[in-house]
Amino acid sequence: MGAKDIAEKHFEEINKIFADIINGTLFGGNQTIKEDELLDLPTKSQYKADDNKLHEQERDIAKRWVKEDVIFSIIGIENQTKIDNDMVLRVIGYDGASYRSQLLDKDNPSRYPVITIVLYYGEKPWNAPKSLKERLDIPKCLDKYVSDYHINVFDIAHMSNEEIDNLFHSDFKILAKFMHDKSKVAEITEKIEYPDPLLKILSVLTDDDRFENIQGELVEGGNTMCDVLDKVENKGRLEGELNACRKIAEKLYKNGVSIDIIKSSLTDIPEDEVQKIFDEITKSK
């Protein structure tokens, strides 16, 4: 599993966020699923392919929705940042494996539905097939004999802010608004409840390490995206200053200037960062 998948999983597997995603995408924002009604499921499943070997596939997140002590649904989430023309085939594989596991459970005769949603965060609107028949080249004479299969794709970055406000109520709302329009961070005023998982997923979705670099600097429930942006920009400025100071310090040190004299001139840089610079210089000597 790659860094992107791990970051998305850590964020979305939080029951409060998972429930919010499902309530927003499937139930129009109604609070149908409660966070304490969700149980984690294994995400790996095995199957035999044409080569007669046992293979393993892994979906991003899977949970059971348990209500009144009855398992009555399995819901999975698949994350996408790129358009995938074969997504419908992938979802069929995941869902089929979940149904097959029900057949193998000899102690439980009940059968329950499997629902997979695809969260798409890409910049271009989703234009790939959302049904099996859209993906296949079917001769006209056989069309009525081919069973169709539809998938649930939600184009998060292309929802309006009004839709997002009506549908979501957790940190997922913050993520959705950010992906919708990264230039309007100042308008995202909601307090961040789970800062570290949110910063991780922002980092991988934007390919910007600065979000992950400020982990541990935010207070749960006490900061907004404005605070995030301020810290990210400050971190960027500090990195720039440190790089400039590092180059100057290395040059002076090579020219015989003592470390104490160089340190005394770096008054605008935090002491621990100055120490790191000289640890690096003396190591590379």
Q: What is the pLDDT of residues 128-138, one digit of tens each?
A: 999 999 999 99
Q: How far apart are CA 59 and CA 76, in angstroms?
A: 7
> Are the C-beta atoms of 17 and 170 separated by less than 8 Å?
yes
Helical packing angle, 195-206 and 3-12, nearest 10°: 150
Which residue matches tokens 């005023």? 189
Residue 47, pLDDT > 50, answer: no
207: left (phi over 0), alpha (psi -120 to 50) or beta: left
Residue with more model confidence, 140 or 237: 140
Burial 99-115 (b: 16+ CB within 10 A, else e): eeeeeeeeeeeeeeebe
For all residues of the chain together, what is the average pLDDT?
Answer: 84
Annotated domain spans of the chain: 3-182, 238-284
Residue 55, pLDDT > 50, answer: no
Q: How far is CA 91 from the centre of its chain?
A: 18
> Are the C-beta atoms of 235 and 213 separated by less than 8 Å?
yes
Q: How far apart are CA 12 and CA 21, in angstroms?
A: 8
pLDDT on residue 85? 97
Radius of gyration from C-alpha coordinates of the chain: 25
> Are the C-beta atoms of 80 and 119 separated by less than 8 Å?
yes
Residue 106, pLDDT > 90, answer: no
pTM of the entire predicted model: 0.79
- What average pLDDT does this structure show over 53-67? 70
- What average pLDDT does this structure show over 108-125? 91
- What average pLDDT does this structure show over 80-90? 94
The candidate with the shortest Cα–Cα distance to 117, out of 65, 190, 182, is 65
Calculate the dihedral angle through the C-alpha atoms of 182, 187, 192, 195, rounding to the nearest 10 degrees: 30
pLDDT on residue 266? 66
Q: What is the pLDDT of residues 205-256, one digit of tens each?
A: 888 888 888 888 888 888 999 998 888 877 766 666 566 667 777 777 677 7
Percent of the chain with pLDDT over 70: 79
Residue 54, pLDDT > 60, answer: no
Three-state secondary structure along the chain? CCHHHHHHHHHHCCHHHHHHHHHHHHCCCCCCCCHHHEEECCCEEEEECCCCCEEEEECCEEEEEEECCEEEEEEEEEEECCCCCCHHHHHHHHHHHHHHHHHHCCCCCCCCCEEEEEEECCCCCCCCCCEHHHHCCCCHHHHHHCCCCECEEEEHHHCCHHHHHHHCCCHHHHHHHHHHCHHHHHHCCCCCCCHHHHHHHHHHHHCCHHHHHCCCCCCCCCCCHHHHHHHHHHHHHHHHHHHHHHHHHHHHHHCCCCHHHHHHHCCCCCHHHHHHHHHHHHHHC
Total residues found in the chain within this entry = 285
